[in-house]
Amino acid sequence: MSPRSASIATYLAAGDYAGGRRLSPKSPSLSAISFSRVRSACRQAYVSRPRHDSGIGQPLALSATRAPASPPVALAEAEAENETMSTHPRSAVFQAAGSAEDLTLTALQKAVNLLREHPATVIEIVVSGAAVRGLVAGHVTSMTVEMMLEENLSVTVVACRNALRAYEIDEATLADPIGAVPAAVARIAERQWDDWALIVI
């Protein structure tokens, strides 16, 4: 009998072994000190037993720290595309058709917001309806439009001649930086045919 088997036999003789749980010894002839030694011997035999593929009894190996995962390829491509779009020349036409005389200012503010994200964008604002009344020289709207156009050189504003005639406005009275087109609807259609993005105000 091997020393390990002898130790286990001694331990089993010293106490009960039920359901895998070791109980305290029942034999009055075995002192608490002897029982402690037998238990230590059994533990030593259990630890030093041959290890199998199941891994039972083997010390747990610390898992290696996983390196941070690199960004997904799709995310990297999306970021690269967004960077390209922000610097690649693009074009957008804004349709500002309405009755408010300060509608052109609303369109200009949205144009500035677009330029913050895509500074290379070329923008044209086509104004029609009663909004053309705010484009006359000396109007508070046209004066503000002039200042904003000076700061955003890639933006132009044009008025619809049909709207100018409807509201009896002489084209010559428009503020200096503001041009005119024959018809707003035709201008917007032409820009879209040329692949300009359409923004409706």
Q: Identity (one letter) of the amino acid at 116?
A: R
pLDDT beyond 80 at 198:
yes
pLDDT beyond 50 at 144:
yes
Question: What pLDDT band is residue 89 in, cutting at 50, 70 and 90?
Answer: confident
Are 104 and 133 within 8 A, CB to CB?
Answer: no
Domains and CATH numbers, the chain: 3-47 (no CATH), 84-200 (3.40.1260.10)
What are the φ and ψ backbone dihedral angles of 63, each rounded to 5 degrees? -70, 140
The pLDDT tens digits of the residues spanning 91-128 come to: 999 999 999 999 999 999 999 999 999 999 999 999 99
Q: Locate all alpha helices (DSSP H) within the chain, ordered by sequence.
A: 3-14, 32-47, 73-87, 103-117, 140-151, 161-166, 184-193
The pLDDT tens digits of the residues spanning 173-185 come to: 999 999 999 999 9
Are 114 and 121 within 8 A, CB to CB?
Answer: yes
pLDDT beyond 50 at 23:
no
pLDDT at residue 51, as a whole number: 55
To the question of pTM greater than 0.75 for the whole model, the response is: no
